[in-house]
């Protein structure tokens, strides 16, 4: 979404017109879920995707007919039609898409506000009218942005936020899913999770690359500047070089922080575990064999870390997928973090378990 919103702002700032095509509701299996956004420019180019195939192509053709016309259009697709077979979209689901052409300063201000909320990383909710008859006769496509605390930030048209029933906007703490109530689709963008990787070795580098693509904000900590640098971690939001026992005590750790311990040695792992296990981080992962984990946990208990805090540590870290290589280990770790982020405390799908042991001592 970040790239699409920035492209919208760029086009509007230059005085152009954009056609925003957004998935506002889905049922069953679909190639994209509610919230997916595609920008169609008046020259026919696009940024973002609705899942490709015949649906995206048809939406694009219909969207181009909206150029220069006021008001939004609503498109519904049942993904079990014979004509969709060739495009591989036999998902057995339904997609509802709202498209509208925007231009001018009000639209620019709205999307600038949305971009600011994205950059802040605390999460927000976009509410879009999809059924005017049930939404107090608000025009189709009317939209409003509500911040992390449910306060209105911007709307299009400008009076929309006050007219939308605030009861449809759920608190983000419960990690709500997109829904439609009272004729309004609510599209939550959940708070960004900051991933602090302690250890800039091979595993840390592989995890950082994959985690960034999965929308984690990656921070890297190591005492070696030849490892912890922008050349090896080009997408990291922050790189901190310094001793673990100096950096971690000063680090702000919140309930939106995940931590991964993948240092080059037991002593550094022990230090990191001591400082991170007692924090508010809902996820702390530790790479290592069962034997290594037992030794580190014993050391942490002797240093005063409670058994309750250690029980929260995912160790050995990662999902059980038979990982052997560094890229495979990274997949198992990032997969576990995604499950934690998306499922919270709920159990993982039956048949997917925590990996009982890491491969024999991989250098972090």
Interatomic CA distance for residues 164 and 216, integer angstroms: 31
- Is residue 352 over pLDDT 80? no
Count of CB atoms situated within 10 Å of the CB of 320:
15
Residues whose CB is less than 8 angstroms from the CB of residue 3 and which lie 6 or more positions away in sequence, other chains included: 47, 48
266-276 helix and 290-302 helix, angle to the nearest 10 degrees: 60
C-alpha dihedral, 220 to 225 to 230 to 234, nearest 10°: -40
Please answer whether residues 29 and 92 qualify as being in contact, where contact means their C-beta atoms are separated by less than 8 angstroms: yes
Concatenate the DSSP letters of all residues of 4-32 into one string: HHHHHHHHHHTT--EEEEEEEEEESS-SS
- Is residue 103 over pLDDT 70? yes
Interatomic CA distance for residues 22 and 37, integer angstroms: 4
Question: In the predicted model, what is the mean pLDDT of residues 46-63?
Answer: 90
Element (H, E) at 110: helix 105-120
Indicate the range of 39-53, 144-158, 281-295 predicted with least confidence. Answer: 39-53
350 — pLDDT class (breaks 50, 70, 90): very low
Question: In the predicted model, what is the mean pLDDT of residues 266-271?
Answer: 96
Higher pLDDT, 155 or 349: 155
Residues whose CB is less than 8 angstroms from the CB of residue 269 and which lie 6 or more positions away in sequence, other chains included: 261, 263, 286, 288, 292, 296
Q: For position 345, what pLDDT does the model report?
A: 62
Q: For position 84, what pLDDT does the model report?
A: 47
Q: For position 173, what pLDDT does the model report?
A: 81
- Is residue 82 over pLDDT 50? no
pLDDT digits (tens, 9 = 90+) for 283-313: 999 999 999 999 999 999 999 999 999 999 9
- Is residue 39 over pLDDT 70? yes
- Is residue 87 over pLDDT 80? no
Q: For position 355, what pLDDT does the model report?
A: 44
Most confident of 163-172, 326-335, 353-362: 326-335
Q: For position 80, what pLDDT does the model report?
A: 65
Q: For position 358, what pLDDT does the model report?
A: 46
Q: For position 266, what pLDDT does the model report?
A: 93
- Is residue 189 over pLDDT 90? yes
- Is residue 89 over pLDDT 70? no
pLDDT digits (tens, 9 = 90+) for 123-133: 999 999 999 99
Residue 256: strand, helix, or coil: coil
Interatomic CA distance for residues 55 and 260, integer angstroms: 40
């Amino acid at each position: 979404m970040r790239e699409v919103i920035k492209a919208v702002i760029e086009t509007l700032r230059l005085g152009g017109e954009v056609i925003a095509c957004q998935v506002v509701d889905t049922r069953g299996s679909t190639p994209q879920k509610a919230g997916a956004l595609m920008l169609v420019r008046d020259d026919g180019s696009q940024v973002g995707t609705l899942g490709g195939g015949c649906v995206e192509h048809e939406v694009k053709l219909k969207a181009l007919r909206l150029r220069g016309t006021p008001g939004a259009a609503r498109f519904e697709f049942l993904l079990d039609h014979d004509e969709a077979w060739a495009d591989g979209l036999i998902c057995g689901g339904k997609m509802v898409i709202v498209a509208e052409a925007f231009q001018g300063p009000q639209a620019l201000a709205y999307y600038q506000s949305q971009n600011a909320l994205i950059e802040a990383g605390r999460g927000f909710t976009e509410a879009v009218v999809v059924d005017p008859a049930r939404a107090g006769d608000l025009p189709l496509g009317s939209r409003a942005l509500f911040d992390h605390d449910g306060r209105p930030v911007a709307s299009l048209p400008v009076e929309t936020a006050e007219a939308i029933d605030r009861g449809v906007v759920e608190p983000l703490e419960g990690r709500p899913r997109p829904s439609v109530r009272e004729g309004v689709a609510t599209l939550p963008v959940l708070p960004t999770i900051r991933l602090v990787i302690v250890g800039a070795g091979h595993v840390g580098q592989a995890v950082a690359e994959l985690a960034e693509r999965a929308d984690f904000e990656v921070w890297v900590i190591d005492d070696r500047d030849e490892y912890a640098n922008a050349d090896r971690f080009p997408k990291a939001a922050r790189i901190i070089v310094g001793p673990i026992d100096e950096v971690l005590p000063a680090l702000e750790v919140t309930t939106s922080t995940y931590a991964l311990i993948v240092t080059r040695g037991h002593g550094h792992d022990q230090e990191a575990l001591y400082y991170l296990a007692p924090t508010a981080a809902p996820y702390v992962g530790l790479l290592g064999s069962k034997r290594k984990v037992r030794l580190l946990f014993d050391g942490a208990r002797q240093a005063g870390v409670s058994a309750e805090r250690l029980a929260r540590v995912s160790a050995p870290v990662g999902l059980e997928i038979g990982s052997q290589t560094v890229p495979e280990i990274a997949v198992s770790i990032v997969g576990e973090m995604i499950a934690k982020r998306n499922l919270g405390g709920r159990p993982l799908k039956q048949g997917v378990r925590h990996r009982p042991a890491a491969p024999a001592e991989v250098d972090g």
